[in-house]
Structure 1
Amino acid sequence: MTDRATARAAKTALAGQLSTQPGVVGIGLARRDSGYVVKVDVADAAAAGLVPRDVDGVRVVTEVVGVIRPLRSRTA
């Protein structure tokens, strides 16, 4: 079981490692079983291959979510 503080520290370390990697669109924390994991959202399967399976003993899960784009304003 990984506590929130440990997972948060691993997230910070991983964000530094992946900050320049193309295709990584989000990094956060998620609850799994009775603890926390670092969750990495990626644009495609190729980007998923850049993400390690764990960081500092904390499990990392990836999910292919596609490209993230900002919503366009609908103001007229």
Structure 2
Amino acid sequence: MTDRASARAAKDALASRFAADPGVAAVGLARQAADYVVRVDLTEPGAGARVPADVDGVRVVTHVIGTVRAL
């Protein structure tokens, strides 16, 4: 079971790692069943290959949301 503090630390590590990656739109936390996971929103499917499956034992899930544009 992953607690919120562990997931937050993993999120911070991934956010720093992918801050300048144009294929990554956002990095955040999500709940799946009783666990916290790190959710990485991608602008393109190919960017998912660069995202690890877990960080320090915290599962990472990806979702392709497409290009983010200002309104």
Which category of TM-score, normalised to the shorter sequence, fits these structures?
A: over 0.9
**Does structure 1 residue 44 correspond to structure 2 residue 44?**
yes
Deviation, structure 1 residue 2: 0.4
Answer with 1 or 2: which has the greater Rg: 1
Instruction: Output aligned runs, 1:6-25, within 5 Å.
Output: 6-25=6-25
1:1-51 deviation per Cα after TM superposition (whole angstroms, max 9, x unaligned): 101111000000111111122210011000011110000000111111111
> Are 1:58 and 2:58 an aligned pair?
yes
Q: Secondary structure at the match of 2:6?
A: helix
Unaligned runs of 5+ in 1: 72-76
Gaps in structure 2 of 5+ consecutive residues: none
Taking structure 1 as the reference length, the TM-score comes to 0.89
Give aligned-pair identity as a percent.
Answer: 58
Give the SS at the match of 1:30: strand
Aligned residues: 71
